[in-house]
A = this chain, B = another copy of it.
């Protein structure tokens, strides 16, 4: 069962070629229409959650089941223990096991490992390195799939691309507004990093809006500007939701932490408290070009977006959620296709 050649991991969307992404989206669409996918009988994917999950856990397990495969659910908070990730240390601390050994052992049982790593949460300098996820990838003998790290959420990006394609047809040249929203419990910027690069790669023109001090990870922004240039797409960054929404075909809303005060809850709360507004409502949407709303959920109603928009015809949120299932079935079919 273990693979002796280096396994192929899926840690971020750029791990896939354009053709592969298209294959996954096309296959996802066929599976959605009822076509049978790959046969994953006797295949197990270990799902390791070091943080909570509703949609990812459910859609991934159901995707596996519908293909005949098996989800081995491991919840790090209740099922096992803390893991060491540093190399060469004398392990006399809290962690009784090294990721190296946990990954090697699980590689004996599972045909792939899907991982949502914990965030240390006290230093963006540390978390931005995705150290834990990379340690799993380094030591696993089977493919590792990122189920959302500090930096990337490639499974959400696949579902979002499918949703965009369904809504807009050709993506090249269409306008995507990505806007920060206010939440007392923002998430990591992983989803936004992923959709930003995915949209630019597809040739969309992107306008990004967030309050001052809520900049995305600098290395990702650098990559985004380079991507925009190479695709001939535009990327504008500003500090007004309305300006970003103007002329947009799709408004993508999502809250994220101010990376400046990452690991400082008091300062973060005070920063968040100042940012009133930043709620997408019908007035915002009316600034776009027959604009649709996307958001990866969970969404805080009437704080991030109004009930009116969320429950109206502009919302694509449930399509995004549904497409998690279809694109993940596409991905798994590709991953386990007979070579």
Which residue on chain B has the smallest CB distance to residue A307? B88
Q: Are B46 and A58 in contact, CB atoms less than 8 angstroms apart?
A: yes
- A58: which of B53, B75, B78, B110 is its contact (CB, 8 Å)? B110
| Alpha-carbon gap, A81 to B318, bound state (A) | 19
- A97: which of B49, B109, B297 is its contact (CB, 8 Å)? B297
A173 at the interface (CB under 8 A from B): no
User: In A276-329, which residues have CB < 8 Å from any B CB?
Assistant: 297-303, 307, 310, 317-318, 321-322, 324-325
A281 to chain B, nearest CB (A): 12
Given A109-B58, A321-B108, the answer on whether A92 and B303 have CB atoms closer than 8 Å is: yes
Binds B, one of A99-107, A128-136, A194-202: A99-107
A106 to chain B, nearest CB (A): 6
User: In A155-201, which residues have CB < 8 Å from any B CB?
Assistant: 183-185
- Which B residues are in CB contact (< 8 Å) with A300? 91-92, 96-97
Q: Are B81 and A298 in contact, CB atoms less than 8 angstroms apart?
A: yes
A205 at the interface (CB under 8 A from B): no
Given A301-B98, A322-B108, A325-B108, the answer on whether A42 and B66 have CB atoms closer than 8 Å is: yes
- Which B residues are in CB contact (< 8 Å) with A96? 183, 185, 298, 300
| Alpha-carbon gap, A80 to B298, bound state (A) | 11
Q: Are A52 and B70 in contact, CB atoms less than 8 angstroms apart?
A: no
Q: Are B70 and A65 in contact, CB atoms less than 8 angstroms apart?
A: yes
A79 at the interface (CB under 8 A from B): yes
Q: Are B80 and A52 in contact, CB atoms less than 8 angstroms apart?
A: yes
Instruction: Bin the interface of chain A by size.
Output: 35 or more
Given A104-B321, A105-B318, the answer on whether A72 and B79 have CB atoms closer than 8 Å is: no
- Which B residues are in CB contact (< 8 Å) with A80? 52-54, 57
Given A101-B297, A302-B90, the answer on whether A81 and B61 have CB atoms closer than 8 Å is: no
| Cβ contacts A to B, 29 pairs, < 8 Å | A52-B79, A52-B81, A53-B79, A54-B74, A54-B97, A54-B102, A54-B105, A54-B106, A57-B80, A59-B108, A62-B109, A65-B70, A88-B302, A89-B302, A90-B303, A91-B301, A92-B184, A96-B298, A96-B300, A97-B300, A100-B301, A101-B297, A101-B317, A105-B318, A105-B321, A108-B321, A108-B324, A108-B325, A109-B325
Contact surface of A with B, Cβ cutoff 8 Å: 2, 42, 44, 46, 49, 52-55, 57-59, 61-62, 65-66, 70, 72-75, 77-81, 84, 87-93, 96-98, 100-102, 104-106, 108-110, 183-185, 297-303, 307, 310, 317-318, 321-322, 324-325
The 7 closest A-B pairs by CB, nearest first: A97-B298, A108-B322, A91-B300, A105-B321, A54-B80, A90-B302, A62-B109
